């Protein structure tokens, strides 16, 4: 009999969270709860609080639970949920009280900021220990994150490491490697350091004035990056595309020679998990020029599938970009090496199969 899996997610369909949407493909009866760390909506249904729960529970309300918790509990019972997958650590913390009361097995999927941002760890550190104690399993997206979770008190034997995997459509991209166009895809936030990517690229233009950098995404650093490009007078070389669809990104990958992203540990501690864009670039047979940061060296092998440097080393990234343009055949060699390795080890199918096995191993009520 197929199990019913409830997925708890703060957002219904954030453009940067394709990895969460992929989990809806798991072979279970999926009930997708969203809208905040304590979800108030069930996809395909109405707001949980609009089903009269306020009126129905007013007379019998156990004050150890909030109205919102009570509404979610009633929905989980009505939907006969067998297992819960909480996306992000804080989501697990917000729902632990009611999940534990219902005695439903809990799996917690950490993704990045939730295991690295200093204020998050300070706020949820003690609650995480309670989550780890109750959870049947904890998922980390990189080996670096696994180490961080162990440091926060998670038993090593509960942790499964699995990167989320690229959209399989990217394996159908075939770059020609004959352009001087580089591409960056990601939010304009501190840990992705788009400004450092721009500074590294600016150095490349001294030798390759026709080179082009296409930057896809949005975020709070976008205006600052545009200002930097203007001050450097390289508007003809750096193009900001905003948010693009998966199909549009695939087309841009096909026109490009390499993918660039200067990921760093942000001042607030925020770090990557394993960036899906990096996985998708490799699936598309683009070499990845990036940094030894978080889960990136798990999936990018220096001089075999891409070129890596230390965080904040703009000169190194600049040299790597120039090397791609200088050495004939290097981009194709690294790109095809990356596609092969991702196809064997890091596909979305592999990720979902690993989760499926893990979920099926967990005993339910």
Band of residue 58 on the pLDDT scale cut at 50, 70, 90: low
Residue corresponding to tokens 């020679």: 257
What is the per-residue pLDDT for 68?
87
Cβ atoms of 159 and 149 closer than 8 Å: yes
User: Which token pair is 99?
Assistant: 């999940």
Q: Strand (E) positions, the chain? A: 4-8, 29-34, 41-42, 83-87, 106-109, 137-140, 159-161, 181-185, 212-216, 238-242, 258-260, 288-291, 306-309
Residues shown for the chain: 365
What is the Cα gyration radius of the chain? 22
| pLDDT for the residue 139 | 97
Dihedral sign, Cα of residue 266, residue 269, residue 274, residue 276: negative
Q: What is the H or E stretch that residue 116 is in? A: none
- The per-residue pLDDT for 56 is 57
pLDDT recorded at residue 1: 75
172 vs 15, more confident: 172
Distance CA 220, CA 226 (A): 11
DSSP type of residue 172:
G
Domain boundaries 4-164+347-361, corresponding CATH code:
3.40.50.2000
Cβ proximity of 165 and 353 under 8 Å? no
CA distance 213 to 181: 6
Per-residue confidence (pLDDT) for residue 45, from 0 to 100: 86
- What pLDDT digit, counting tens, does each position of 262-290 carry? 999 999 999 999 999 999 999 999 999 99
Question: Is the pTM value of this prediction over 0.85?
Answer: yes
Residue 43 structure tokens: 């996809």
Q: Which residue has the higher pLDDT, 364 or 58?
A: 364
Of 46, 45, 15, which Cα lies nearest the Cα of 30? 45
Specify whether domain 168-345 bears CATH 3.65.10.10: no
Confidence of residue 18 (pLDDT cuts 50, 70, 90): confident
How far, in Å, are 115, 148, 271, 361 from residue 118 at the CA level?
Answer: 9, 12, 10, 34
Which range is least confidently modeled, 67-76, 138-147, 152-161?
A: 67-76
Per-residue pLDDT of 312-347, as tens digits, reads: 999 999 999 999 999 999 999 999 999 999 999 999
Structure token digits, residue 13: 């369909």
Region(s) of the chain under CATH 3.40.50.2000:
4-164+347-361, 168-345
* Distance in angstroms (rounded) separating the CA atoms of residues 196 and 311: 10
d(CA 154, CA 146): 9
């Amino acid at each position: 009999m197929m199990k019913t899996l409830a997925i708890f997610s703060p957002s219904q369909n954030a453009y940067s969270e394709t990895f969460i949407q992929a989990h809806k493909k798991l072979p279970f009866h999926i009930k997708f709860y969203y809208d905040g760390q304590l979800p108030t909506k069930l996809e395909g249904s109405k707001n949980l609080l609009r089903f009269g729960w306020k009126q129905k529970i007013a007379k019998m309300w156990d004050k150890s639970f909030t109205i919102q918790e009570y509404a979610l509990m009633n929905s989980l019972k009505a939907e006969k949920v067998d297992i819960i997958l909480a996306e992000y650590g804080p989501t697990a913390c917000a729902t632990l009280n009611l999940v534990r009361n219902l005695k439903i097995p809990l799996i917690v999927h950490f993704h990045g900021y939730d295991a690295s941002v200093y204020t998050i760890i300070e706020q949820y550190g003690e609650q995480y220990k309670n989550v780890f104690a109750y959870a049947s399993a904890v998922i980390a997206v990189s080996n670096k994150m696994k180490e961080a979770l162990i440091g926060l008190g998670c038993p090593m034997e509960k942790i499964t490491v699995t990167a989320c995997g690229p959209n399989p459509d990217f394996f159908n991209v075939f770059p020609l490697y004959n352009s001087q166009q580089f591409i960056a895809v990601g939010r304009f936030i501190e840990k992705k350091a788009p400004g450092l990517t721009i500074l590294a690229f600016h150095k490349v233009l001294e030798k390759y004035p026709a080179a082009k950098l296409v930057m896809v995404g949005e975020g709070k650093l976008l205006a600052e990056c545009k200002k930097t490009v203007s001050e450097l007078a390289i508007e003809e070389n750096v193009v900001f595309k905003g948010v693009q669809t998966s199909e549009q990104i695939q087309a841009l990958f096909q026109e490009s020679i390499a993918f660039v992203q200067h990921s760093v540990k942000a001042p607030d501690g925020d770090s990557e998990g394993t960036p899906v864009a990096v996985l998708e670039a490799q699936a598309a047979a683009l070499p990845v020029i990036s940094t030894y940061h978080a889960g990136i060296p798990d999936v990018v092998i220096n001089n075999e599938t891409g070129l890596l440097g230390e965080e904040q080393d703009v000169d190194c990234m600049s040299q790597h970009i120039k090397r791609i343009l200088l050495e004939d055949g290097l981009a194709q060699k690294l790109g095809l090496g990356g596609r092969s390795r991702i196809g064997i080890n890091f596909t979305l199918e592999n990720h979902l199969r690993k989760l499926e096995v893990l979920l099926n191993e967990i005993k339910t009520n």
